[in-house]
Amino acid sequence: MSAPVPTASTQARTLGDLVHHGLAPALLGLERSLDEPRDGVPGGGWRWAVRQRMAAVRDALLPDVESSDDGWLAARSGGIARDRDALLGRLSELGPEVLESPDADRVRAELRRLITDIRHYVQRVHDLAYDAVELELGGEE
C-alpha cells in the first residue's frame, strides 16, 4: 500500500502548521528575550535565556518544507528550502556568540536582523502555500 500523494491543500496546511504552531511563538519568545534587561551577572542570565529561545526557533525551523511537483512551484519550494538552511546556518553561527561575545549589543542587533529575515521567510512560505492552493483550485485567470 503506497502513501497518499499530498495535494496542494494538504501541502498548504502543512506549511501553515509549521509557521503558526511552532515558528511564530518561538520567534515571539526570542524577540521578547532580546528586549529583557541584561542586569545581574554580566550578561549571564540574559545570554542563557536568549540562547534557549534561539534553540526553540531552530527546532521550529527544522521541519523540511515539502516540495511541489509542479514546475514553477518546485523551483520556489526549493528556494525556500535553501533559505531555511541559510537561516539555520546563521542561527548556528550566532549560538556561541550569544554566550561568549563581549559585545552583547552587536549580537542583539544581529539577532534582530535574523528575526526580520525569518519573518520574510515566513511570508514566502505563506505565499507558496497560497499559490499551491490557488493552482489546485484553478484560480489562474
The reported pTM is 0.73
User: What is the rounded distance in angstroms from the CA atom of residue 118 to the CA atom of residue 129?
Assistant: 16
Domain region containing 87: 8-136
**pLDDT averaged over the chain?**
77
Q: What is the pLDDT of residue 39?
A: 58
Residue type at position 125: V
Residue 26 domain-assigned? yes
| pLDDT number for residue 130 | 75
With respect to residue 2, please indicate whether it lies within any of the assigned structural domains: no
Would 105 be classed as within a structural domain?
A: yes
- State the pLDDT confidence band at 95, using cuts at 50, 70 and 90: very high
52 vs 9, more confident: 52
The span from the CA of 52 to the CA of 30, in Å, is: 8
- Give the cell for residue 110: 544581529
Question: Residues 17-65: pLDDT tens digits?
Answer: 555 568 889 999 999 999 887 655 455 788 999 999 999 999 998 876 5
61 CB-near residues (< 8 Å, 6+ apart) = 23, 84, 87, 88, 91, 118
pLDDT, greater one: 103 or 19: 103
Residue 3 lies inside a defined structural domain of this protein: no
Total H helices, total E strands in the chain: 5, 0
Could you tell me if residue 47 is inside a domain? yes
Q: Looking at the domain assignment, is residue 22 inside a domain?
A: yes
21 in a structural domain: yes
CATH of the domain at 77: 1.20.120
What does the pLDDT average to over 59-86? Answer: 75
pLDDT at residue 18, as a whole number: 53
Q: How many domains does the chain have?
A: 1
User: Given a cut of 70, is residue 13 above it in pLDDT?
Assistant: no
Residue with cell 534587561: 37
What is the model's pLDDT at position 7? Answer: 47
- Residue at 98 is within a domain: yes
